[in-house]
């Protein structure tokens, strides 16, 4: 082969290869054009300020935001809200429509939230939120909040603050002063111990006693109540065994007729409480009593006013309680209900008061053994407008004159009932090697303080008792629990500690 032929062959091969290469490029699929992500669109509604705004059933991944009315009378009530983790950027795709009940409450259930996360919300669907309109979801069950502490605010009989609600406002301000002086940590949840609205638990009285007093607090702190005798109408003297029998004795002189109800009982219309274990705990099937979990705490709310007055309903509640406590593995267990098993400064737990106070006796005789058998740590009640905190108790179900500290109380090294303070702090596992003792506290003076009987003395099982306005703050950690009674000046009047 000569040089010319060889050169032509090489050129031909090169052209062929180039042609093959060009064909390959031509056959490749054209990549799709890059479409830029759309800019987030903020909500564009108008924020309203409801006269009634509160949080219900806050858990690790969900919450109910509930409201009614609009403080600006010339504007309509909102039908939706927007929410998000940035208070200055609530996005359009977060807008959630409200369900409206027959009592004109609007509520939104938010789900698929992240645990231990702060969210802001705007009722009315604005693109920004007020700083006080926020909530922080609970940490995963069994874990602690980021700061290692759960703070709980307990209010008993706060509805009794009078027509001007002076007493309850003073107690609220005392709590806020305490918060400011102790580092600014607000409560993670608030518990109301009954007689939340006074004198007959009407819708109007709930507005005056709760939402007019605590509105700025309840927009960021979830509220969990129990039923008191005055929440059941009949001027607090009712002994009805069915919430459908709620009745106002005489005329309602405080605001006219209630809105058309879902239930005759305003308490059940206003609050949306768990019936199916929505926030932990065992399903009760009723809003009258329920339980829930928060961090490493299990909280049980019982109905000592209605369910407890009927033998079969009381037995059903007791069986549910036993099953619920048996199923819980929380570090701490707290039980709340209205009628105290141990009290004498105002209501007397030895006296059924013609049946009105029969639940005080029934709860002591039939329920305190359950608390002791299933590792309950603390029990809180209202009803008596006093503060009365017991020793660390076990086994006392009789009248006050049968109390024997050597038998019924945890003793210190000197053989005296331990105070729960200093080196006499209570241990969850008592000296007998079991978790079978409970501290019972009457904290019913968040609205007014009074002694029904002149010269009345505390129950003999009570370590500290006083007729004075105030509320309780609990700080609950991994291995210790501190309970403080706070007066209207924000001072700690009485306290105890429990360790585990």
pLDDT (tens digit per residue) in 395-425? 999 999 999 999 999 999 999 999 999 999 9
Q: What is the pLDDT of residues 301-320, one digit of tens each?
A: 999 999 999 999 999 999 99
Q: Cβ distance 305 to 229 under 8 Å? A: yes
Average pLDDT of the residues in 252-256: 58
Confidence tier at 71 by pLDDT (50, 70, 90)? confident
Ramachandran quadrant class, 287 (left: phi over 0; alpha: psi -120 to 50; beta: rest):
alpha
Q: Which helix (H) or strand (E) holds 430?
A: none
Average pLDDT of the residues in 222-247: 96
pLDDT for the residue 406:
97
Residue bearing the bigger pLDDT, 276 or 35: 276
Q: What is the pLDDT of residues 465-481, one digit of tens each?
A: 999 999 999 999 999 99
Percent of the chain with pLDDT over 90: 85
pLDDT for the residue 149:
98
Average pLDDT of every residue of the chain: 92
pLDDT for the residue 19:
44
Confidence tier at 253 by pLDDT (50, 70, 90)? low
Dist CA 315 CA 284 (whole Å)? 13
Percent of the chain with pLDDT over 70: 92
Average pLDDT of the residues in 203-213: 94
Confidence tier at 263 by pLDDT (50, 70, 90)? confident
Q: 307-311, 422-426, 448-452, 494-498: lowest mean pLDDT where? A: 448-452
Q: Which helix (H) or strand (E) holds 106?
A: strand 106-110
Average pLDDT of the residues in 132-152: 97
For residue 254, pLDDT beyond 70: no
* Rounded alpha-carbon distances, angstroms, from residue 42 to 50, 65, 118, 128, 361: 22, 20, 19, 8, 57
Dist CA 263 CA 268 (whole Å)? 7
Dist CA 357 CA 477 (whole Å)? 35
For residue 227, pLDDT beyond 70: yes
């Amino acid at each position: 082969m000569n040089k010319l032929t060889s050169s032509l062959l090489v050129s031909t091969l090169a052209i062929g290869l180039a042609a093959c290469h060009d064909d390959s490029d031509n056959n490749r699929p054209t990549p799709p054009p890059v479409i830029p992500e759309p800019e987030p669109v903020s909500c564009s509604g108008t924020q309203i300020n409801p006269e009634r705004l509160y949080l219900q059933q806050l858990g690790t991944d969900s919450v109910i935001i509930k409201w009614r009315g609009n403080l600006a009378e010339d504007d309509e009530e909102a039908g939706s809200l927007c929410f998000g983790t940035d208070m200055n950027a609530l996005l359009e795709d977060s807008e959630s429509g409200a369900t409206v009940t027959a009592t004109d409450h609007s509520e939104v259930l938010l789900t698929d939230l992240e645990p231990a996360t702060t969210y802001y919300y705007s009722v009315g669907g604005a693109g920004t939120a007020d700083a006080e309109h926020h909530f922080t979801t609970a940490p995963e069950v069994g874990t602690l909040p980021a700061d290692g502490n759960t703070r709980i605010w307990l209010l008993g009989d706060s509805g009794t603050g009078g027509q001007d609600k002076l007493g309850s406002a003073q107690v609220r301000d005392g709590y806020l002063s305490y918060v400011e002086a102790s580092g600014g940590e607000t409560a993670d949840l608030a518990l109301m111990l009954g007689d939340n609205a006074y004198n007959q638990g009407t819708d109007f009285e709930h507005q005056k006693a709760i939402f007019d007093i605590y509105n700025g607090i309840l927009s960021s702190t979830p509220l969990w109540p129990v039923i008191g005798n005055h929440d059941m109408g009949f001027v607090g003297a009712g002994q009805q065994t069915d919430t459908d029998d709620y009745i106002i004795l005489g005329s309602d002189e405080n605001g006219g007729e209630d809105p058309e109800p879902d239930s005759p009982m305003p308490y059940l219309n206003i609050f949306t409480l768990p019936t199916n274990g929505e926030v932990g705990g065992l399903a009760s099937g009723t809003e009258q009593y329920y339980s829930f979990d928060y961090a490493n705490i299990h909280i049980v709310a019982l109905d000592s006013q209605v369910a407890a007055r009927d033998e079969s309903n009381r037995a059903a509640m007791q069986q549910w309680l036993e099953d619920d406590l048996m199923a819980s593995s929380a570090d701490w267990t707290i039980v709340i209900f209205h009628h105290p098993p141990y009290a004498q400064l105002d209501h007397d737990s030895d006296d059924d008061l013609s049946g009105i106070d029969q639940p005080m006796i029934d709860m002591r005789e039939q329920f305190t053994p359950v608390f002791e058998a299933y590792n309950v740590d603390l029990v809180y009640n209202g009803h008596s407008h006093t503060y009365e905190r017991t020793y660390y108790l076990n086994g006392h179900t009789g009248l006050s004159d049968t109390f024997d500290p050597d038998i019924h109380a945890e003793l210190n090294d000197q053989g005296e009932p331990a105070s729960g303070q200093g080196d006499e702090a209570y241990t969850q596992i008592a000296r007998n090697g079991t978790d079978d003792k409970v501290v019972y506290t009457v904290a019913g003076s968040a609205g007014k303080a009074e002694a029904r009987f002149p010269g009345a003395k505390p129950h003999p099982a009570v370590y500290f008792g006083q007729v004075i306005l105030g509320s309780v703050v609990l700080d609950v950690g991994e291995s210790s629990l501190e309970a403080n009674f706070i007066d209207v000046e924000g001072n700690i009047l009485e306290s105890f500690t429990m360790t585990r």
